[in-house]
Amino acid sequence: MKKSIVSPLAFPLPELADSPQSLLAQILKRGVGQILAQAIEDEVQEFLELRRHLRDQRGRQLVVRNGHLPARSIQTQLGDVGVEQPRVRDHRPAGEREAFTSRILPPYLRRAREVAELVPWLYLKGISTGDMAPALTALLGSDAPGLSPTNVVRLKSVWEEEHRAWCNRSLEGKHYVYVWADGIYFNVRLEDADKKRQCILVLMGALPDGTKELLAVVDGYRESAASWEELIEGLKARGLRHAPRLAIGDGALGFWAAVNQAWPETLQQRCWVHKTVNVLNKMPRSLHGQAKDMLKEVWRSPTRETADKAFDLFIKTFEAKYPDATACLEKDHAPLLAYYGFPAQHWKHVRTTNPIESTFATVRLRTKQGRRICRFPACTAHVRPCAPIPARVGCGS
Q: What is the pLDDT of residues 340-370, one digit of tens each?
A: 999 999 999 999 999 888 877 666 555 554 4
Pair (395, 256) in one structural domain: yes
Asked if residue 5 belongs to a domain, the reply is no
Pair (256, 367) in one structural domain: yes
CA distances (Å), 152 to each of 112, 147, 189, in order?
Answer: 14, 6, 20
Q: How many CB atoms lie within 10 A of CB 14?
A: 13
Pair (209, 265) in one structural domain: yes
CATH code for the domain of 233: 3.30.420
| Rounded Cα–Cα distance for residues 9 and 30 (Å) | 9
Asked if residue 211 belongs to a domain, the reply is yes
Helix (H, G, I), strand (E, B) or coil at 219: strand
Whether pTM > 0.75 for this model: the answer is: no
Domain count across the chain: 4
Asked if residue 189 belongs to a domain, the reply is yes
CA 237 to chain centre: 23
Quick check: 196 and 213 in contact, CB under 8 A?
no
pLDDT of residue 236: 95
**Regarding predicted confidence, which is higher, 181 or 20?**
181
Pair (330, 360) in one structural domain: no
pLDDT of residue 87: 86
| Rounded Cα–Cα distance for residues 238 and 165 (Å) | 12
Using the 3D structure, point to which of 167, 193, 211 is the last residue of a domain. Answer: 167
Asked if residue 286 belongs to a domain, the reply is yes
What b/e readout covers 278-309, taking b as 16+ CB neighbours within 10 angstroms? bbbebbeeebeeebeebbeebbebeeeeebee
Pair (106, 118) in one structural domain: no
Asked if residue 21 belongs to a domain, the reply is no
Pair (362, 249) in one structural domain: yes
Full domain range(s) for residue 146: 113-167
Residues 203-213: pLDDT tens digits?
999 999 988 99
Helix (H, G, I), strand (E, B) or coil at 195: helix
Pair (239, 151) in one structural domain: no
Using the 3D structure, point to which of 73, 88, 110 is the last residue of a domain. Answer: 110
pLDDT of residue 205: 94
Quick check: 82 and 147 in contact, CB under 8 A?
no
Pair (197, 266) in one structural domain: yes
Pair (266, 200) in one structural domain: yes
pLDDT of residue 253: 79
| Rounded Cα–Cα distance for residues 359 and 345 (Å) | 21
Helix (H, G, I), strand (E, B) or coil at 218: strand
Average pLDDT over residues 250-255: 86
Residues 12-64: pLDDT tens digits?
444 444 444 455 556 555 665 666 677 778 888 888 999 999 998 888 999 99
| Rounded Cα–Cα distance for residues 179 and 172 (Å) | 17
Quick check: 299 and 351 in contact, CB under 8 A?
yes
Pair (249, 278) in one structural domain: no
Report the candidate in 71, 70, 65 with the shortest Cα–Cα distance to residue 45: 65
Could you give phi then psi for residue 72, rounded to 5 degrees? -130, 155
Asked if residue 3 belongs to a domain, the reply is no
| Rounded Cα–Cα distance for residues 320 and 310 (Å) | 17
Question: Please, which residues have CB within 8 angstroms of residue 133's CB and are 6 or more apart in sequence?
Answer: 144, 147, 148, 149, 152
Pair (70, 34) in one structural domain: yes
Asked if residue 386 belongs to a domain, the reply is yes
Pair (320, 213) in one structural domain: no
Asked if residue 9 belongs to a domain, the reply is no
Quick check: 103 and 44 in contact, CB under 8 A?
no
